[in-house]
Each structure stands twice: as structure tokens, then as C-alpha cells.
Amino acid sequence: MDPSYQQMSMLWRWNVDSDPIEVHVATDSSEEIDDQLCIQYLRSLSQVPKPLSIKFIFTGTAKVSSKESAGEWMTTFEEHVVSQQNPNTNVSFTTLEEYSSSGSHNPDFFLQIAPMKEYTGENLEVKGKYILAGDYVSDTPSFNMLGSEAITKKFFDQGKLVDIPSHHMATMRFNEELLSKFTGPFNEYIVFTAFKLAFGRMHPKCPVAQKFAEGLVNPDVGRGVNYKSVMTIAKNLDVPSMPSFYTHTEPYDALEAKKYFKDIFGDDWKDTNGSICKLDHINYILHYINVFATGIRPSALFHDNGGEVFYSNFTVDTIPELLIPSWEYFKANASKLIDCYNPVYDLFAGYVMVGLINGETRVEHSVEEFLENIVKEF
């Protein structure tokens, strides 16, 4: 057994003798950074009516097992987070495999910020609300609904499901004050996640690529989160405007963009020309950032990468050599890029749950309300 996971399995912190509010959280921590932000927030909360007892359930991802995900948390974040934890908060950890086979569970609230991998909730009842970070029903699929149909239907039928629209969560981003709440290892990982999702595309062989890859780069198909982030990066770094031949409805050249979508879909996808143009626009901006970083013009960034886009399956320790100059440039300009950092989807979902604990409905809170309130709570 992974020693960091073994350490996690034994880790309990009991600090109060009153009946706490019991919260269970299903997390795919390690996928991006927003799960980790939510975990820090919940454990540092100061404004709740009673102490919290929180069980974090690591689900794993398509790339890492639940135990590996838990081990990554323990190795990278746990020491820092426990030093800032509310002393009246009780914390335990488990994996989805253990949770689904370990008898009955009856928390006051359940927060789902991960796909549930076909866990049906047969041994789970919730006293209060079951909160889903995503849309229960939508024309645009929510990532957290993958393998979650049975469990969400169970609590929808019971009238306990609270779903948070993905398009609304996608508007929730950092400002300087919220960013200042996350210190230590969070600093580099927040900046790195923004860099990785700007420069790296979802791998064509990712099991959910056909569902989500096009929508990440084309806001006319999905939420276009990666496209919007890169456009804001371009504005903040003063990247020159894209020549008109790039933005024409018929894509100009765009070999890397064409290859990317053909590797995923073959010859047919939702918005053929539009998606190629949008991805080519992204690539143009990434080219220019590489010029800023290296001083070499013209940039041969994608040509030197074999005529392909870069994929987002690298870690902070395995950044492709061709991207190292851009990474260093990105870090050096991080203070200009705060509003380009990835949306804090799961942090907002945690914020919504805390509102429900306090008897407040926050699902429709604006970005301004969210940013004003959350910094006062931990």
C-alpha cells in the first residue's frame, strides 16, 4: 500500500464533543486545482452554525486511481492545509471503493464535485441536500454527470438534489483578494493549472474527448473555457491582434488545429470550420507568447512539436521542453493574469453548500456576491 495513502486512512482529527454537521464530499482531486481549493475552504471555514465533520471521498480520475489521487493530496497539500484548519473541524478520508462497500452512510449534506464512476448510492441516504457541481439535465453535458446518472436520479426523485449549472460556475474566477487566501503549494499549482489549460489540449485518446474537447475551445459548441482564458491572456499580455485571414469563416491553413480534431472525430464534428478557426486563434496567441518568451521570431512552436498541438497530460515536473520558456514567461507575468486563471468551479460548489448549511440559497449568486462573501468565511 502507498504509505501516503496508509497515512491518510489513519488520519482523524476529533476536537469537539457536540454533534457536528456531517458533510461528505466526493472529489477527483488531482484532475485540476479547483477540488483542492474547495477542500482548503471547507476545512478552514469559520462561519458555520456548528462544528463540521467532513469525510472526503477520493474517486480518482481517468488517469489516476483513487488511492493515487489521495496520495497526491497527502504529499502535496495536507501538511499545509492542516496547519490552517479550523480546530473545531473533524476530517477523515476514504476512497470511493471503500465508501461504496463500507456499510451505510447518512450525512447531513453530500457534495459531488467529481464523476461518480457508476456508484449508485445504494448505501447512502442524505438528511439534507445532495449538491451536484453541474447540470442534472442540460443540452451541454456536465463532466460530473459521467457515471453519475443513478445516484443523482435517486436524490432528484427524493427532492434533495441541488444542481449548480456548469455555465454559471464557469464564470467564477479569482480576484486578487481570493487568490491571497491560497498560499504555500497552492500558489504554483494555481498558476500551473492556468498555464497547462492554456497551452495544452485534451488528449484525443481521453475517454471523454468526443464529448468535451471541442466545447472547451469553441464557445459556440460548449462553454469555451479554454478559449476565453486564452483570449484574456492575449489581452493582458498585449498580444497583437490576430490577422483577418485567421478569423475568416474558412480556416486559413490551421494544420495543427485540423489534425487535432481529425484525431478525435475523424472527418465530422459539430462546428467544423468554427472550431478549427477558434483553435487556430488560440494557437496564434500561444505562438506569440512563445515569441515573447524566447525572443525568436517567427515562432516554430507547433512545427517543432511535430505539427501537433500540445496535450494537457503533463505535470509541473514534466512540462515539455519546448514549453519551458513560455512557462517561465507565464510565471514572471502571473500578477497580470489573475483573471485568466481557471474557473473555480468546485470552490463555488462548496460555497453553495455552505450557504445551504447556513439556510441560504446561493446557486444564483453573482461573481461579485461570491467574491465579496467567500473571503470573509475562511
Looking at per-residue confidence, does 6 or 167 come out higher? 167
CA angle 124, 129, 131 (to 5 degrees): 90
Contact 27, 57 (CB under 8 A): yes
pLDDT value at residue 250: 45
Q: How many Cα atoms occupy the beta-carbon half-sphere of 7 within 13 Å?
A: 12
For residue 105, the SS3 value is strand
Length of the chain: 378
Quote the CA–CA distance of 195 and 211 in Å, as a whole number: 23
Which residue type is seen at 7?
Q
High-pLDDT (> 70) share of the chain, %: 92
Which helix (H) or strand (E) segment holds residue 26: the answer is: strand 21-27
Higher pLDDT residue, 243 or 84? 84
Largest CA distance in the chain: 68
Q: How confident is the model at residue 10 (pLDDT cuts 50, 70, 90)?
A: very low
Residue 138: its pLDDT value, please? 87
Q: Average pLDDT in the 27-38 region?
A: 90
User: Domain map of the chain by residue range?
Assistant: 3-171+343-374, 176-340
| Gap between the Cα atoms of 174 and 284, Å rounded | 26
Omega before residue 298 within 30° of 0, cis = yes
- Cell 462573501 -> residue: 373
The fraction of the chain above a pLDDT of 90, given in percent, is 82
Cβ atoms of 283 and 257 within 8 Å: the answer is yes
DSSP secondary structure code for residue 247 in this structure:
H
| 107 in Cβ contact with 99 (< 8 Å) | no
CATH architecture of the region 3-171+343-374: 3-Layer(aba) Sandwich (3.40)
- Tens-place pLDDT, residues 307-340: 999 999 999 999 999 999 999 999 999 999 999 9
Question: Tell me: the pLDDT tens digits for 39-77?
Answer: 999 999 987 889 999 999 999 998 899 999 999 999 999
Return the C-alpha cell found at 144: 460530473
Which three-class secondary structure state does DSSP give residue 230? helix
| Cα–Cα dist 78/274, whole Å | 43
CA end-to-end span of the chain, whole Å?
A: 34
Per-residue pLDDT at 243: 62
**pTM: predicted TM-score of the whole model, two decimal places:** 0.88
